[in-house]
Amino acid sequence: MHKVAKITLSIGIMGLTIFLFMFGISAYKLASSHDDVDWNDWIVYEVDSSEATLYLDGEIGYTIYVDDTYVCEEVDAEVYLGYGGKDYYEQNCDPYYDFDNWMQIGDIVNEYSGEHQISVTADRFIVVDWTTVQGNSFENSLIGGIGCCASIGILTLGAILALTLKDEHSVIINQNQQVVSPTIIRDGKLTQSESSKNDEENWWEEE
């Protein structure tokens, strides 16, 4: 196997091992942290109406909850920075994240800090900060996932190089080897070429 292919494969295997371990540990902490958190402490806003203008930090991820008497799929919401433009709301009905009498209906994927117009088809709702409480586990999981993908790409490149590149063989030339004059086959006999004969006959003239 070519040296370049070996190095590439080694880097890919090492990277995949490290990032898989990192992703696994972070994902486990991320999942287990939910059971250890009192989500009431992370309620940012509690709104007793169906709409409100709230300040959201672009570095924080938020989740909208409504009373669990509703059916998640039947509740809709809209989140805009200012008035109109892009809707930053994404529905996410996952009962795993429900707590007390609150039901998660979706996430706010905001990109900028500022006053956001939030409207929900419910009598009241709360906004929860779900990224800060997770700490570095969420970021490490993301980095681990990206690293795994990159390592797989490097492994693929290494495999391609291993199949396409040939081994480098060193060639040793004997400096004392004799140069054999070219020969020509005529009538089943080997005869020396005329140019070679002339060179050999006139070697003394060159000296």
Which of 30-34, 101-105, 160-164, 182-186 is the most confident on average? 101-105
Helical (H) or strand (E) element with 53: strand 51-56
Beta strands in 148-194 (DSSP E): 183-186, 189-192
Q: How many CA atoms lie within 13 A of 8 on its CB side?
A: 19
Query: Which of residues 88 and 200 earns the better pLDDT score?
Result: 88
Residue-wise over 102-133: b if at least 16 C-beta within 10 A, else e?
A: bbbbbbbebeeeeebbbbbebeebbbbbbeeb
- Position 96 scores a pLDDT of 84
pLDDT of residue 203 exceeding 70, the answer is no
Please give the pLDDT value at position 62: 93
More confident residue, 152 or 126: 126
At 26, which amino acid appears?
A: S
The residue that leads in pLDDT, 59 or 36, is: 59
Residue 66: predicted pLDDT: 96
pLDDT tens, 157-196? 878 888 887 765 544 555 555 555 555 555 555 555 555 5
Higher pLDDT, 86 or 135: 86
Residues 121-132: tens digit of each pLDDT: 999 999 999 876
State what percent of residues in the chain have pLDDT above 90: 31
Highest averaged pLDDT of the listed ranges 7-11, 58-62, 133-137, 179-183: 58-62
Residues 27-36: contacts with CB within 8 Å, 24+ apart? 27/137, 27/141, 27/144, 29/137, 30/134, 30/137, 30/138, 30/141, 33/133, 33/134, 33/135, 33/137, 34/96, 34/97
Q: Mean pLDDT in the chain?
A: 77
- Which pLDDT score is estimated for 126? 96
Choose among 174, 133, 148: nearest CA to 15.
Answer: 148
- Give all strands (DSSP E) within 68-152, no chain letters: 77-81, 89-91, 102-108, 114-120, 125-129
pTM recorded for the entire structure: 0.52
What is the rounded CA–CA span in Å between residue 51 and residue 107?
16
Q: Show me where the domains of the chain are located.
A: 3-28+138-164, 39-132
